[in-house]
A and B are shown apart, each in its own frame.
Chain A
Amino acid sequence: MGLNHETAPVEVREHFAVPEQELGAKAKELTGLSTIAEGVVISTCNRTEIYVAAEDRQTGLEILQGHLSRGHTKEDMTHLYQKCGDDAKHHLFALVCGLDSMVLGETEIFGQVKHAYKKALEAGATKGVLNRLFQKSFAVGKRIRTNTRIQVGATSVGNVAVDLAEKIFGKLDGSHVMVIGAGETSRLVAQSMISRGASKLTVTNRSIERAKSLADELEGDVVAFDAWEETLVNVDVVVSSTGASEPVLHAAQIEAVRRKRKFRPLFLIDIAVPRDIETQAGEIEEVYLYDIDTLQQLASEARESRAKQVELCEQMIAEEINQAS
């Protein structure tokens, strides 16, 4: 029994959320209910789900509903879904594979389910039935990840940019990122780069106050808008999103610093409309230029590619359930 981002809005999901440190205790609490022998509680930002093994299916369901209704309104309870037997098995298998996630195929859920199960196991809330079920689900998750492409490709503009950066530089440790134009999208992209190890950030903006505000937030430096060209010698990544009607970064500016840069790779992310970076810049050998359309197209291709894998994943899950039955 549970609810997720598709069945319940965040204000309902937060009523059912269980803090990470209470997952084991909540699972153990379930086993104190009549006819319920085992329990596991999974709680993430997108879902809360309770898995139980009961001596009698119908009675167990009624008791669990009664238990959950305490402290929750009737309206809250209408958002819950319930699954039994092979349906519940299928749901758990699909869940660990990321098929039920907001971002199709995401891998974080696998670790979250594993963690929730571990907590329940440590609290002594699981025995034969749920132990077998969860162990099997992890095996299915691994098999699907190895044999399909469900998790391949970044599905958001920020992640596409970071994936590309890693394909160019490898680890981003020590990389220098320059942000031209302190807009929201560039903030998100810069933040993604920093979270993956970029160590230096330089922000430039026509309004120096906005540049300072973003630099303070991301612990970077500020450079005046009429002086950022000098920084081009040292940077590895440029994220540009100004509101300028003409390009702010020209191929000639990069050509002028190529030798000083010792022909190191330069990754240019142009998320402005109209574009900030002259397209000819992308023709320079060691320059990798991507505009917003390309990044969005790559994210969309990855989403489509993942969607095409769903049928294959479902077939494999069905095989596993048939084998187990």
Chain B
Amino acid sequence: MLILAVILAAVAAVQGASFVHRGHRSRWTVLWMLLCFIAQLTVLSIRGEMRASCPLGDTGEVLIFSAWSLTMFYMVIGSVYRLSLLGVFTAPLVCFLLAMALMPGLLDTSPERKTVVDGWRESHAAFSVLAYGALGLAAVAGVMFVVLNRQLKEAHMTTGLFANLPPVRELSKVVKRLLLFGFALLTLGLVCGLVMEKTGVANKHLYVALGQWLAYAILLLVEWRRGMPPRKLAIAAVVLFVLSLMIFPLIN
């Protein structure tokens, strides 16, 4: 099922890019992403059943959960803001995360069934991964902004990509709102993390998470207090998300 999800995300990415290259709207991307979402949901349900808890017990599951969260936010945001091209940009990232989860050793083949469930730990993991979805999508919208901004500055208007990208003002709003929403979820995750029972590794993970939370907090504070050129905000969203992915190896 995970392989199927990878294939669906890859199809969405390749077919979407090909449509955009020819200057057409990619109507199939939503369908492939929806099917990919269902496949991811099935994988997570199976893993949840195996663990008898939230399927966030190993790095592989965290990657799948992140991809699922990213796909979910794309489907919500993409339809609200009519950002049809968002899927074409999101699909490669989803494909990458799912493919990473397939790497040997990342997904425990016989996960330990939990007898006692720590509610705080489960909430910490769930909120954090949902935050990753929102922040990941903010990064995707940030990439779209940077690409369109460059095309506008250099007056490259004849490409199919230019014709299909949403306006820069819309993209900038989406980046800002997703950053805010992701930050709120991250805060909830962090609060749960501070309350939950800790181990030595978890402490290290928590310090890094605190640093990540602080970085997003400073970014949003600066944007709120003195404003920021949209391009800088978009680049910051991308850089912070890439840096955030470095927390994954510290999980478990």
Asked if A263 and B157 sit within 8 Å, CB to CB, the answer is: no
Q: Complex Cα distance A263/B230, Å? A: 7
Residue in A closest to B153 when the chains form the complex, CB atoms: A288
Check A311 for interface membership: any CB of B closer than 8 A.
Answer: no
Q: What's the A-B contact tally at a CB cutoff of 8 Å?
A: 61
Tell me, in angstroms, the Cα distance from A163 to B158 when the chains sit together: 12
Query: Whose C-beta in chain A lies nearest to the C-beta of B163?
Result: A152
Residues in A lying within 8 Å of B, measured CB to CB: 146, 149, 152-153, 160, 163-164, 166-170, 258-259, 262-263, 265, 282, 285-286, 288, 290, 294, 297-298, 301-302, 305
A167 to B158, CA, bound (A): 13
Known: A167-B157, A167-B168, A265-B230. 6 other contacts (CB 8 A): A152-B158, A164-B157, A169-B169, A282-B153, A286-B231, A297-B155
Q: Which residues of A have CB within 8 Å of B170?
A: 170
Q: Given A259-B226, A263-B228, A286-B231 in contact, is the A294-B167 Cβ separation under 8 Å?
A: no
Given the contacts A169-B169, A170-B170, A302 and B230 also touching, CB distance less than 8 Å = no
**List of A residues within 8 angstroms of B228 by Cβ:** 263
CB <8 Å contact, A290 and B232: no
Pairwise interchain contact B158-A301, C-beta atoms closer than 8 A: yes
- Neighbour of B229 across the interface among A166, A167, A168, A285, CB < 8 A: A285
Please give the residue numbers on chain B whose beta carbons come within 8 Å of chain A beta carbons, in ascending order.
Answer: 23-24, 148, 152-153, 155, 157-158, 162-163, 165-170, 172, 226-232
The answer, among A258, A263, A288, A297, for a CB contact under 8 Å with B152, is A288
Given the interface pairs A146-B24, A153-B157, A298-B155, the reply to whether A263 lies near B168 with Cβ below 8 Å is no
Q: Say whether, besides A259-B227, A288-B152, A168 and B169 are in contact (CB < 8 Å).
A: yes
Query: What would be 14 A-B contacts, judged by CB atoms less than 8 Å apart?
Result: A153-B157, A153-B158, A167-B168, A168-B152, A169-B167, A170-B167, A170-B170, A259-B227, A265-B169, A265-B230, A286-B230, A288-B153, A290-B155, A301-B158
How far does the alpha carbon of A152 sit from the alpha carbon of B164 in the complex, in Å?
A: 11
Alpha-carbon separation in the docked complex, A163 to B230 (Å): 20
Q: Is the CB of A152 within 8 A of B23?
A: yes
- A285 and B167 contact, CB distance less than 8 A: no
**A190–B51 Cα gap in the complex (Å)?**
64
Contact A164 B158 (CB under 8 A): no
> Which A residues lie within 8 Å of B162 (CB)?
167
Docked Cα-Cα span, A153 to B167, in Å, equals 16
Query: Residues of B contacting A288 with CB < 8 Å?
Result: 152-153
Within the assembled complex, what's the spacing in Å between the Cα atoms of A163 and B227? 27
Closest CB in chain B relative to A204 CB, distance in Å: 25
How far apart sit A222 and B229, CA to CA, in the bound complex (Å)? 30
Chain A residue with Cβ nearest B168? A168
Query: In angstroms, how far is the closest chain A Cβ from the Cβ of B76?
Result: 20
Measured between beta carbons, the chain B residues less than 8 angstroms from A297 are: 155
A259 CA to B226 CA, complexed, in Å: 7
How far does the alpha carbon of A149 sit from the alpha carbon of B158 in the complex, in Å? 10
Chain A residue nearest to B233 in the complex (CB): A263
Give the distance in Å from the alpha carbon of A204 to the alpha carbon of B163 in the complex: 33
Quick one: closest B residue to A301, CB to CB?
Answer: B158
Contact B229–A263 (Cβ < 8 Å): yes
Task: Report A304 CB to chain B, min CB distance, Å.
Answer: 9
